């Protein structure tokens, strides 16, 4: 389990990722802040604690794999890759600009450290299964993590893939759902209800874990539990808040699914996100 110091470090990294997200999306004047912010703590834990990876050798054969199936949350991945050292931070502000390697949705060929291109929802878990099957064939020990959106789980392919993971007993798969409860057109519950969500995964043959997706310690523990579970793939349903860390987005998640904040909003958002979290803070 992570030390107290590590937990604090991860919290601050997550805040830094959030700052990058706001800056990148404002610079691009387009993008998806809500679902990037909701995944920031999960992605921070993955890249700065959980994943076995080497930014100096992105193709290292024994690395853990991370597939970002919710490809519109590209900014949080780019921020984590840059902070990890896969490419210089200065490129972050080129997001969505012509000629940039930072495509609006994830393109594995344009940047180091990306395992799969995504953007058309529902495709990532299938690819993750393929990576896990290859790992099994090659007697490798790597874990394959796949982050999905909750709205994304309305795609049929997610459930085709869920059957595959369970059928082939791919316990090297850990799926994580960024369960922020909103999609473009409204709340997931109103648009097309997923409940009982955990039961669905359970009935598909998965080990289901729930956690607070903004409690980095809880995310660390859930990931560890998923990794150690044998015989079944594990899914972590991470309870999150769309727009987490930016109050006016948390309050109006539907307004910030796919829209950049204004310059004034940006200042407000960054002011809050630039506060360093100290040990004494109860802030998660």
Residues lying near another protein in the complex (CB under 8 A): 61, 67, 107-109, 115-120, 122-135, 137-138, 156-157, 160-161, 163-164, 167-168
Residue 212, strand partner residues? 239
Judged by beta carbon, residue 1 or residue 109, the one nearer another protein is 109
Q: Classify residue 9 by burial, with Cβ atoms within 10 Å: 0-12, 13-18, 19+.
A: middle
Q: H-helix or E-strand containing 4?
A: helix 4-28
Interior angle at CA 68, CA 55 and CA 139, nearest 5: 65
For another protein, the closer CB: 164 or 183: 164
Strands (E), 53-212: 65-68, 144-149, 173-179, 182-183, 186-187, 207-212
* Rg (the chain; Cα; Å): 17
**Minimal distance, residue 272 CB to another protein, in Å:** 36
- My answer on whether omega of the bond before 196 falls inside 30° of 0, hence cis, is yes
CB of 132 to another protein, least distance (A): 8
The residue (of 126 and 180) whose beta carbon lies closer to another protein is 126
Least Å distance, CB 4 to another protein, is 37
CB of 14 vs another protein, minimal distance in Å: 28
Q: Shortest distance, CB of residue 275 to another protein, whole angstroms?
A: 39
Q: Which is nearer to another protein, 146 or 241 (CB)?
A: 146
The rounded distance, in Å, linking the Cα atoms of 152 and 122 is 6
Q: Which is nearer to another protein, 88 or 156 (CB)?
A: 156
């Amino acid at each position: 389990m992570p030390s107290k110091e590590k937990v604090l470090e991860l919290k601050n990294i997550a805040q830094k990722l959030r700052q990058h997200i706001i800056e990148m999306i404002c610079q691009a004047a387009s993008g998806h802040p809500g679902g990037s912010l909701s995944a920031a703590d999960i992605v921070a834990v993955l890249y700065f604690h959980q994943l076995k990876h080497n930014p100096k050798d992105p193709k290292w054969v024994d690395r853990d794999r991370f597939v970002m199936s919710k490809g519109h949350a590209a900014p949080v991945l780019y921020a984590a890759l840059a902070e990890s050292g896969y490419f210089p931070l200065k490129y972050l502000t080129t997001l969505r600009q012509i000629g940039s390697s930072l495509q609006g949705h994830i393109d594995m060929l344009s940047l180091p450290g990306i395992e799969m291109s995504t953007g058309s929802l529902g495709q990532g878990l299938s690819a993750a299964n393929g990576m896990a099957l290859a790992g099994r064939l090659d007697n490798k020990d790597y874990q394959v993590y796949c982050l999905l959106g909750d709205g994304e789980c309305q795609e049929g392919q997610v459930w085709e893939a869920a059957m595959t993971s369970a059928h082939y007993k791919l316990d090297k798969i850990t799926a994580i759902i960024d369960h922020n409860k909103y999609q473009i057109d409204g709340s997931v519950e109103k648009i097309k209800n997923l409940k009982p969500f955990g039961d669905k995964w359970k009935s598909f043959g998965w080990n289901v874990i729930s956690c607070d997706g903004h409690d980095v310690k809880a995310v660390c523990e859930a990931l560890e539990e998923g990794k150690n579970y044998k015989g079944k793939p594990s899914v972590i349903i991470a309870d999150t808040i769309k727009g987490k860390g930016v109050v006016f987005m948390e309050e109006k998640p539907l307004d910030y699914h796919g829209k950049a904040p204004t310059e004034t909003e940006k200042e407000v958002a960054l002011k809050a996100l630039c506060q360093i979290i100290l040990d004494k803070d109860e802030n998660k």
